[in-house]
Amino acid sequence: MADDLSAVAHFLYEAGTLKNARRTGWWMAGIRDPESVAEHSWRTSLIATVIARLEGADPARAALLAVWHDTQETRTGDVNYLGKKYTGSADPRHVTADQTAGMPDILASALREVVAEYEDKQSPEAACARDADKLECMLQGIEYRAQGHQSAQRWIDNSQRRLTTDTGKRLAEALLAQDPLDWLRTALDEN
């Protein structure tokens, strides 16, 4: 008999709410319509793949950790650092356990393990995924700054300071040395 997948279906609908959940810290930088949590997680996963490959870690595992790193925000919302000062933060492991309740055990235990690995910060892939999270915030800040939001500099600086991998630090320097549209100029042979 096949496992009941209704809990999985519930979660897939729930995960879709991250497409509408805004990253709230950017409001303090004057961004009226900031990126969604889903948009952030997508690019974080790409960055995790890049960092992990260059660091000699497993890129697929790093991307998996990155894509799941904010899934708990379907239930907690995106609580920025100032908000956490007053409300604390929910343990992502606990939230994930609730989210995966009723799923086939083989799936639920695997997802709980992914979130625990990210939160435990011990594996090379977790270090790459965590740096990817910081780099994505920094990259988004650079893009917002280029759109005229000078107060995004705080997020750029804070994200850069929190990087731990050699590749993450080097990539941050490369990002800061470019304009967000340099890639387009190069693609169009305008340089």
Average pLDDT, the chain: 95
Extract the tokens encoding 154.
Answer: 């705080």
Spatial distance between the Cα atoms of 171 and 135, rounded to a whole number of angstroms? 8
pTM of the shown model: 0.94
Spatial distance between the Cα atoms of 19 and 25, rounded to a whole number of angstroms? 16
Spatial distance between the Cα atoms of 124 and 137, rounded to a whole number of angstroms? 20
Which residue in this structure is represented by tokens 């650079």?
A: 142
Per 3-state DSSP, the chain is made up of helix, strand and coil in percentages (nearest 5) of: 70, 0, 25
What is the average pLDDT across 154-181? 97
Q: Please name every residue paired with 36 in a beta bridge, in sequence order, or none if there are none.
A: 22
* pLDDT recorded at residue 1: 38
Q: Tell how many helices (H) and how many strands (E) occur in the chain.
A: 11, 0
Q: Please report how the helices 166-176 and 37-55 are oriented relative to each other, as an axis angle in degrees rounded to 10.
A: 120
Task: Give 130-154 pLDDT, tens digit per residue.
Answer: 999 999 999 999 999 999 999 999 9
pLDDT over 80 (residue 3) = no
* pLDDT recorded at residue 2: 54
Q: Are 71 and 99 a contacting pair, CB within 8 Å?
A: yes
The full set of domains in the chain, from first to last, is 6-187 (1.10.3210.10)
Task: Give 48-103 pLDDT, tens digit per residue.
Answer: 999 999 999 999 999 999 999 999 999 998 888 888 888 877 899 999 999 999 99
